[in-house]
Amino acid sequence: MLYFSKGGNIIKYFKTFDSLFIVAITLLFIYDYFPTVPFASAIPMGVVIFLILGSLLFNFVLKKYNETDLKTEVIWKIIIILYVLFLLWLFPLLGGQSVSGISFSDGGLYIIILISLFDIYSKWKKLKVNHSEA
């Protein structure tokens, strides 16, 4: 079980739709890296895309009503980035090759990661300012 320095359990940051999003992202990577795997054809691509879009839309709609604190949002974004990087590292080791060209040699990946890290950093700074004011 993963823990943070202040005794928090990482599992408490996952909600049902976040878990569906992680499963859908994983399935998309499996489809991309292993298109000939038999179970990849068992779940239609439309279902995977619906899971991703549905969970994102549901999270955006509920975000207005469900107050998520900034710390949880920053932690969630870090977890997603690390998870995607882990999949990008793992699947080529398992013998997969990206059909769409998503890999560590893709320059666009680094641009997306830098944009995400900038967003995380700005939210973290905002969190520190709010924390010091309280």
Is residue 128 domain-resident?
A: yes
Is residue 2 domain-resident?
A: no
Which neighbouring-strand residues pair with 43? none
Residue 101 has a pLDDT of 84
Which two tokens mark 64? 């207005």
At what angle are helices 45-65 and 16-33 packed, to 10 degrees? Answer: 150
Is residue 118 domain-resident?
A: yes
Is residue 101 domain-resident?
A: yes
Backbone angles phi, psi at 96, to 5 degrees: -85, 155
Number of structural domains (the chain) is 1
At what angle are helices 70-93 and 107-133 packed, to 10 degrees? Answer: 160
Q: Averaged in consecutive runs of 10 residues, what is the pLDDT profile of the chain (134 residues)?
A: 46 61 84 81 76 72 60 84 94 91 87 92 85 68
Residue 74 has a pLDDT of 84
Residue 7 has a pLDDT of 47
Q: Which domain holds residue 102?
A: 10-133
Residue 84 has a pLDDT of 92
